Amino acid sequence: MSNFQNLPSALTDKKMSSAKKELLFSELGSLLSSGLDFSSAFLLLISGEKNDKQRRMLKKIYDHIVAGGSLADALKRTGCFSELDTGVVRIGEETGRLNEAMDFLTDYCHKKVAQKRMVSSAVSYPCVILGTAVVVVIFMLSVIVPMFEQVYARMGGELPAMTRGIIALSQQFPKYAAIFLVVSLCAGGLLYLRRESDGVRSAASSLLLKLPVVGSILRKNYQAHFCKLLYLVTSSGIPLLYGIGMLRSIITFYPYNRSFMAITADIERGGMLTRTLVRFPDIYDKKLVALLSVGEETNRLPQMLLKQSDDLTRELEHSLKQLGTMLEPVLIVLIGGLVAVIMVSMYLPMFQMGNNF
């Protein structure tokens, strides 16, 4: 443990970027696949690293391994790698397929970077539109509507109900905004303090899974992880029961983590994997369960897991591309509707006065 206490805070306090991890795993996997032993491969990595901080981190990892520790523990102690990273490396070490684990992590990091770019591209423009719209609506309620209110107060007469409603909203807007801000800060702080409790994790995950589009993307993402990781385990000859137990420390999203506990309990009693998956229709699609059931009954579960992982990854990428296409017109219509309601409400009394003449 002391080997890692002298690491720079920049390395121990935050995760390494997916792009850097992809390069690290790719280089280590290539060196191992070339026939080099682990020690020689890692020393080559250290000597070829140009960044001083990263070179020191790699040296500490190497020293920990030489002292008898595992690569997975060494990576975990740096604080730079996720549970999934260290869990996959642990699977590779325990099954003697470390180079395959490196290939898996390289592919995972590559796809994660690509997916992050897709999400950024999909939501960046809608977020700009939404932010601009919020500013415009606040400006209209705080400045434009009070100006119309003063004009109509001098003119006298009865205002339409729609206009009175918008004026009342404008008058109460500062109070509503303050209440919303205070409630949001208090709720956010309370949720942050209790973020590890089962109740908060269960409620938050249930809400996310029920959101349109977002819920579907989350399910595809975690089902793809589940299939790919379980393939890595089962194809290595590890018993299914032990493999599911390993997944519990890697996939920590609450509904899936809870399902692994039920799967483990059923397999211990002699049950089948897919018969337990059926009990969780909200997180495992019927199609996935049916296909895995075929693989389990024909003793081709690893091959079916790999195929489903690839199919789900492709579906996930397609869904991410559709996200931006769908968000933009929805936001434009919503924003246009809000602005139109405010403007029509303000000009409606003038239209009525014109009709009277």
**41-56 confidence digits (pLDDT tens):** 888 888 888 888 888 8
Nearest to 302 by CA among 95, 83, 105, 110: 95
pLDDT on residue 15: 66
Q: Count of H helices and E strands in the chain?
A: 16, 0
pLDDT on residue 304: 92
- Asked if residue 182 is part of any domain, the answer here is yes
What is d(CA 208, CA 170) in angstroms, rounded to the nearest whole number? 32
The CATH number assigned to the domain holding 335 equals: 1.20.81.30
Q: Which residues contact 88 (CB under 8 A, 6 or more apart)?
A: 101, 104, 105, 108, 229, 232, 250
Mean pLDDT score, 104-120: 80
Mean pLDDT score, 269-291: 89
- Asked if residue 104 is part of any domain, the answer here is no
pLDDT for residue 12 is more than 50: no
- Asked if residue 244 is part of any domain, the answer here is yes
Mean pLDDT score, 328-334: 80
pLDDT on residue 354: 56
What is d(CA 70, CA 187) in angstroms, rounded to the nearest whole number? 41
- Asked if residue 96 is part of any domain, the answer here is no
Mean pLDDT score, 135-164: 83
Scanning 194-300, the segments in alpha helix (DSSP H) are: 198-210, 214-234, 240-248, 254-268, 273-277, 286-297
Nearest to 267 by CA among 248, 284, 244: 244
Look up residue 334 and give its two tokens. Answer: 């919503």
pLDDT on residue 39: 84
Q: Regarding predicted confidence, which is higher, 6 or 312?
A: 312
- Asked if residue 92 is part of any domain, the answer here is no
Give the domain range for residue 33. 2-81
Assign 223 a pLDDT band (cuts: 50, 70, 90). very high
pLDDT on residue 14: 55
Nearest to 321 by CA among 111, 120, 112, 109: 120
Q: How far is CA 254 from CA 57, 233, 260, 315, in A?
A: 32, 21, 10, 23
pLDDT on residue 183: 92
What is d(CA 254, CA 281) in angstroms, rounded to the nearest whole number? 15
> Is the domain of 327 the same as that of 211?
yes
**% of the chain residues with pLDDT over 90:** 7
Q: How far is CA 189 from CA 110, 193, 252, in A?
A: 34, 6, 22
Assign 251 a pLDDT band (cuts: 50, 70, 90). confident
pLDDT on residue 284: 92
- The alpha carbon of 356 is separated from its chain's Cα centroid by a whole number of angstroms, namely 58
> Is the domain of 209 the same as that of 306?
yes
pLDDT on residue 355: 56
Of 64-68, 105-109, 117-121, give the lowest mean pLDDT range: 117-121
> Is the domain of 177 the same as that of 291?
yes
pLDDT for residue 6 is more than 70: no
The domain total for the chain is: 2
> Is the domain of 213 the same as that of 262?
yes
Contact 313, 223 (CB under 8 A): no
Q: 64, 81, 98: which is the final residue of a domain?
A: 81
pLDDT on residue 10: 34
> Is the domain of 76 the same as that of 191?
no
